[in-house]
Structure 1
Amino acid sequence: MELKINNLSKTYSNGVKALQNISLEIPNGMFGLLGPNGAGKSTLMRTLATLQEADNGSATLGGIDIFKQKNELRQVLGYLPQQFGLYPKISAEVLLNHFAVLKGITNKNLRKETVHALLHKTNLYAVRKQNLSGFSGGMKQRFGIAQALLNNPKLLIVDEPTAGLDPVERNRFYNVLSELGENTVVILSTHIVEDVKEMCTNMAIINQGQVLLNGNPLKVIENIEGKVYQKTILKSELESYKKNYQVISEKLFLGKPIVHILSDSNPGNSFSAINADLEDVYFSQLFGNNKNI
């Protein structure tokens, strides 16, 4: 099954162009939608989840027209929004059972079996009797994935799922998602490069409602291999370097800025060549002068 998005556009009443002719073809497996806050990722996710209308364009999942067959899409959709509420004084097991009823699992034995299987899958079975008010942020996110998987979805959308999680909980979340991609289209919307690097076989970078780049993470890294250089500079030199070089990122090390630049040839001036990574690709698209790298 494949998700096809064609020329999707959305402009809000305040004039913000949240989506501008978005076109993507997303096969089964993990697909990373990478972009900064405000890039249009959540708008795209809500639109695909049939929670809001697009102004123009179309989207299909296999033989389902997402905008004309909303009920059919919802039967095979799992959705974990960026922010969601939980009843704090109910246990994980009871609430997941309640969600299962709402999703149409009416057979009591099947429902119990499904709930317990998902609690095991998300590593929450041991705390299934605990009220959700006592769950950590990562545990709540894993519960969110459990409810999203109740109907064995063909399309799973997770919006900024690891934001605010510590490294241990992030790894647990990665492990849960990694088992889902073989027979499911999984869209992981995030501004965290590491999420895409760890999880996704295909990706797109989006900013200001437009797709800047689309492809396999390893292949897009290859496109800038041999073109990335770095140098430690003084803080007072930073603006000068931005004027004279194609600076794609800067970070501090021992209080001094390290700049990464793109250059087709060795720039000299004590710059050293480094191996490109996905973060360099991401920043080159957002901040580089050449968007066609």
Structure 2
Amino acid sequence: MALVIENLSKTYSNGVQALRDVNLTIPTGMFGLLGPNGAGKSSLMRTIATLQEANSGSIRLDELDVLREKDGVRRILGYLPQEFGVYPKVTAEDLLDHFAVLKGLADSKERKATVAALLHKTNLYEVRKKNLGGYSGGMKQRFGIAQALLGNPRLIIVDEPTAGLDPAERNRFHNLLSEIGENIIVILSTHIVSDVSDLCRNMAIINKGQVLLTGDPLVVMNELQGQVWRRAIAKEQLPALQQEQQVISSRLYAGQTIVHVVSDGSPGVEYESVTPSLEDVYFARIAEAERGMAVVA
């Protein structure tokens, strides 16, 4: 099973071009869609989820035409949007039962068993009688996954699911996603690099509506081997260094600014070679794309 996206473009009525000839093949398993805020990730997810129209291009899930056969897509889709609201004075059990009715589970006995199984799966069964308004952020996200799993979907989309979660809840959520992503397509849309490196064997980087890179995170990191260099500098040195080198990232550590630069050879004796991380790949590709756009402009 694969989701195949070809030449997909979307321009909103205000003139913003959110997607520019996007081409992706997404196989079974966890797939990471990585990009900064405003990169077009949510626009792509909403188009796949049949919540908005594309201007051009196609999306197919095996033999299913996603853009034309919307009802068919919705029957096999689970979706956890970036903003997932709940009724604060309703229990998790009651709201999940309501969602199950909307999903077409008419038999009350079957529906009750399904709801209980999903609450167990998401580790919410013991708090099923608690109002959702009293849930933590991580518990609400796990409830969101429970509703996305209704109807045994073949495709699940989760949009920025770990933003704002504490480390413990983030780990719980990662474990849950990893488990459900073994036999179906799960698209994880995020700006958090470690979410993708921890969970996904396939990924894409998107920025300003364009796909910049696709592949296995381990492979794309290895392709940058020997080209990433690190140096500690004073903060005021950064602007000048950015003019001299291809600086891909900078961060403060122990009062100093640590910069990573990309270079085929050593940029100087002050630098040490470092093993590339997915974060280095991410920043390098976005910086490369930004330079290309600046040259065109």
For each residue in 1:44-82, what CA deviation from the matched residue of structure 2 results, as whole angstroms up to 9, or x when unmatched? Answer: 000000000000000010111001110011000000000
Counterpart of 1:234?
234
For each residue in 1:147-184, what CA deviation from the matched residue of structure 2 results, as whole angstroms up to 9, or x when unmatched? Answer: 00011110100000000111111001001111112221
DSSP-derived class of the 1:252 partner: strand
Counterpart of 2:2?
2
CA contact (8 A) 1:160 1:188 kept: yes
- Structure-2 separation of matches of 1:85 and 1:53: 23
Counterpart of 2:137?
137
- Structure-2 separation of matches of 1:277 and 1:165: 23
- Structure-2 separation of matches of 1:145 and 1:8: 27
- Structure-2 separation of matches of 1:169 and 1:288: 34
For each residue in 1:206-263, what CA deviation from the matched residue of structure 2 results, as whole angstroms up to 9, or x when unmatched? Answer: 0000000000000000110111000000111101110111100000001211000001
- Structure-2 separation of matches of 1:153 and 1:276: 36
Within a 5 Å distance, the mapping from 1:56-205 to structure 2 comes to 56-205=56-205
Quote the sequence identity (%): 62
DSSP-derived class of the 2:180 partner: coil
TM-score by length of 1: 0.98
- Structure-1 separation of matches of 2:19 and 2:225: 30
Counterpart of 2:11?
11
Counterpart of 1:248?
248
Letter in 1 for 2:13: S
Counterpart of 2:48?
48
DSSP-derived class of the 1:22 partner: strand
Counterpart of 2:279?
279
Letter in 2 for 1:266: S
Letter in 2 for 1:121: K
CA contact (8 A) 1:79 1:157 kept: yes
Letter in 1 for 2:259: V
- Structure-1 separation of matches of 2:249 and 2:147: 38
- Structure-1 separation of matches of 2:13 and 2:75: 30
For each residue in 1:92-125, what CA deviation from the matched residue of structure 2 results, as whole angstroms up to 9, or x when unmatched? Answer: 0011011111101111111111111110111101
Counterpart of 1:209?
209
- Structure-1 separation of matches of 2:39 and 2:243: 26
- Structure-2 separation of matches of 1:210 and 1:226: 27
DSSP-derived class of the 1:179 partner: helix
DSSP-derived class of the 1:151 partner: coil
Q: Which moved more, 1:282-291 or 1:144-153?
A: 282-291
- Structure-1 separation of matches of 2:201 and 2:153: 19
TM superposition shift of 1:269: 3.3
Letter in 2 for 1:36: P
- Structure-2 separation of matches of 1:183 and 1:275: 32
DSSP-derived class of the 1:3 partner: strand
Within a 5 Å distance, the mapping from 1:14-29 to structure 2 comes to 14-29=14-29
TM-score by length of 2: 0.96
- Structure-2 separation of matches of 1:193 and 1:252: 18
DSSP-derived class of the 1:142 partner: helix
Count the aligned residue pairs: 291
CA contact (8 A) 1:247 1:288 kept: no
Letter in 2 for 1:53: E
For each residue in 1:186-222, what CA deviation from the matched residue of structure 2 results, as whole angstroms up to 9, or x when unmatched? Answer: 0000000010011101000000000000000000001
CA contact (8 A) 1:225 1:275 kept: yes
Moved runs in structure 1, 4+ residues, more than 2 A? 288-291
- Structure-1 separation of matches of 2:270 and 2:84: 50
Within a 5 Å distance, the mapping from 1:261-276 to structure 2 comes to 261-276=261-276
DSSP-derived class of the 1:281 partner: helix
- Structure-1 separation of matches of 2:227 and 2:277: 11
DSSP-derived class of the 1:171 partner: helix
Q: Structure 1 unaligned segments of length 5 or more: list them.
A: none
DSSP-derived class of the 1:78 partner: strand
